[in-house]
Structure 1
Amino acid sequence: MKKNQELVFELRHSNGFANCILLGDLPNVSDIHFITDSNFDYRIELKELHQNNSMTHISDYNSNANNLSAFKINTLNRNVGFTIHPSSKLYTNKNVSVSYIEHDSVFLVSVKMVDISNSSPPPSPPPGGDCFYENGVRMCNDIK
């Protein structure tokens, strides 16, 4: 992703919410400020991309009780990227908007995420019971 650009995409439940965003055009040593907001719980995982295209873990940041997060890292001569991992509302897709800007030598990444489906996860089976699918219909047994 290039500076002064916005990226909009959908995280899909069907592919395990796969995503990875690489931040480009960073000076060798600079601070990057992250601000994230969402209507679901999530974890941001920072990664370093190496020249052989392998990635290593840098750190994780979890949303707070209000689904917000703010943190700062230093690039330390690293190519930095991140992934978004929802940790609630796991049955629905998410809309994501990422803005990456530089102003007066300050780098800011703003991530806004919204759960977009009004569907809810399947209900739990009755106490002592189990559920299964038959011809695409969810059936539950109450075992006593």
Structure 2
Amino acid sequence: MKAIKSNNKTFELTGERGDYFLTKDERGKVKMFLKKDVEVIEVECLQKKTYKTKKSTSVNSDPVQTWKKIALSVNDKWNNNSYWKLAENKSGKLNTNGNEFIESLLKSMFENGKLSEKQAYYLAKYGVESGQLN
């Protein structure tokens, strides 16, 4: 196959038009070169340029932070959000094993309808560490 070499790049020769060579690069883009500025060479094939795509990386989020966010939805339950329903369903089934601190957090969550960031964190941490929230 005939090709043209210009600036250390090789272009496939596809035709001629007057004083110009018509060429294609590795992407298929058409280019024109003056015949007097380039030399024609013989090559077996053009190397196709390969492009690598970014590999997707999975984000392993901290389950404690995820459940903390869900527990904090109690503060915004009047908007009928689905997080509150999930928090109510999962936290209502937590087995406290006589832990008064966790019982007080659940009381604050269900009776008072409010949780601070720290309360939500400790409730989520207890649930994840005990294997009841996953």
> What TM-score bracket applies, with the shorter chain setting the length?
under 0.3
Bigger strand fraction: 1
For the pair shown, the structure with the greater C-alpha radius of gyration is: 2
Bigger helix fraction: 2
RCO (CA 8 Å, sep 6+): is it higher in 1 or 2? 1
